A and B are shown apart, each in its own frame.
Chain A
Amino acid sequence: MKNPFENLDKVMEHRVRLQIISVLVANDSYDFNALKDLLDVTDGNLATHLKALEREKYISISKSFIDRKPNTRYKVTERGRTAFKKHLDAMEELIKQQRK
């Protein structure tokens, strides 16, 4: 039997990153401030995690101006969606195995 631990996604093993991806999978797009309010994290903390996800190309970023204020929106990429699904499956598998 193959080891489901191998299917866990290293980048998503952090809960804040996992939460970011789940919000983006459930919504078309989300902006920085809305994410910050929702996850209840600091600016710096959120920015670090977003950068980590961006580096893996799990999310895409679009910057624009709304009323002259910068607005940064995030979207999940197809790659990110697939990785999220795989990570969920792996967690499910692990929980199942340990119950036995």
Chain B
Amino acid sequence: MDKNSDYQKDIESIRHMMEKSVKFLSLSGLSGILAGVYALIGAVVAYSIVYFPQTPFDYRNQSVKEITIIIKLLSIALTVLIISILTGYLLAAKKAHKLGVKIWTTTSKRLLVNLLVPLITGGIFILFLLFYGHYGVAAPACLIFYGLSLIQASPNLYDEFRYLGYTEIILGLISAALPGYGLIFWAVGFGVLHIIYGAMMFKKYDR
């Protein structure tokens, strides 16, 4: 009987090691919630710059053409991205410290590369879209490439990231079919979805 529990412990330790060596578990759900909040704030600011005093559902009457507005929108998006990454990193470092693991491991490096390849490809592609005046599909492209990078990175993360990735892609495709409503879809994809998934993961893994 003693031997038996030994084998069970062996199997448990195998499972634990395999998961720990592959998955980056220091990411905090809270950073997802905060990233969502930043995105919503960014969307509100963007709305007030571009469309006010129109209602957000009247988009098609007025399309974005001025280069100054594009630059403003781009800087809002970049600010949201940078603050979100910073928050994510700080909270992950804190969680890693609490779990007693390092944040910079083989796994997290692999994760970063997997995440960055589709993300940078998308970023450059979107710059070209804007450069040639295809403003209507820029927001859908953001959502689609972000979804793809999440799916690409998901083997090294919790399973929820894969579902978030699929949701972002579907949302991006719907948004591509409805040009002119980019900001609303952008706010849902980067704001609402992050808050929902972040809260789910916070509840499941951070307590």
Chain A: residues with CB nearer than 8 A to chain B? Answer: 15, 18-19, 22-23, 25-27, 30-31, 34, 37-39, 88, 91-92, 94-95, 98-99
> Contact at A34–B10, with CB atoms within 8 Å?
no
Contact segment of B14-22, B71-79, B82-90, B168-176: B14-22
Enumerate the 9 nearest inter-chain pairs by beta-carbon distance, A residue then B residue, closest first: A26-B18, A23-B21, A22-B14, A91-B7, A34-B106, A98-B4, A19-B17, A22-B17, A26-B22
> Contact at B13–A19, with CB atoms within 8 Å?
yes
CA distance A22 to B1 in the complex (A): 25
Nearest Cβ distance between residue B147 and chain A, in whole angstroms?
25
CA distance A88 to B14 in the complex (A): 10
- The contact sample of 20 A-B pairs, CB cut-off 8 A, is A18-B10, A18-B13, A19-B17, A22-B13, A22-B18, A22-B21, A23-B17, A23-B21, A26-B21, A30-B21, A31-B106, A34-B105, A34-B106, A37-B102, A38-B17, A38-B21, A39-B17, A94-B3, A95-B8, A98-B3
> Contact at B105–A95, with CB atoms within 8 Å?
no
Nearest Cβ distance between residue A72 and chain B, in whole angstroms?
13
Q: Is B11 an interface residue (CB 8 A)?
A: yes
> Contact at B20–A38, with CB atoms within 8 Å?
yes
B-side interface mostly = helix
The 0/1 profile, CB within 8 Å of A marked 1, for residues 121-134 of chain B is: 00000000000000
Q: Which residue of A lies closest to B105 (CB)?
A: A34
> Contact at A19–B1, with CB atoms within 8 Å?
no
Q: Which residue of A lies closest to B19 (CB)?
A: A26
User: How many B residues face the partner with a CB closer than 8 A?
Assistant: 19
Contacts of A37 in B (CB 8 A): 101-102, 105
CA distance A88 to B12 in the complex (A): 11
CA distance A25 to B8 in the complex (A): 19
Known: A22-B21, A26-B17. 7 other contacts (CB 8 A): A15-B10, A30-B106, A37-B101, A37-B105, A38-B105, A94-B7, A98-B1
Contacts of B101 in A (CB 8 A): 37
CA distance A98 to B1 in the complex (A): 7
Q: Which residue of B lies closest to A90 (CB)?
A: B7
Nearest Cβ distance between residue A91 and chain B, in whole angstroms?
4
Nearest Cβ distance between residue A21 and chain B, in whole angstroms?
8
CA distance A16 to B18 in the complex (A): 13
Contacts of A27 in B (CB 8 A): 21-22, 106
Contacts of B102 in A (CB 8 A): 37
Residues facing A in B13-57 (CB within 8 A) are 13-14, 17-18, 20-22
Output the residue of B1, B11, B17 with the most chain A CB within 10 A.
Answer: B17
> Contact at B22–A91, with CB atoms within 8 Å?
no
Contacts of B10 in A (CB 8 A): 15, 18, 91
Contacts of A26 in B (CB 8 A): 17-18, 21-22
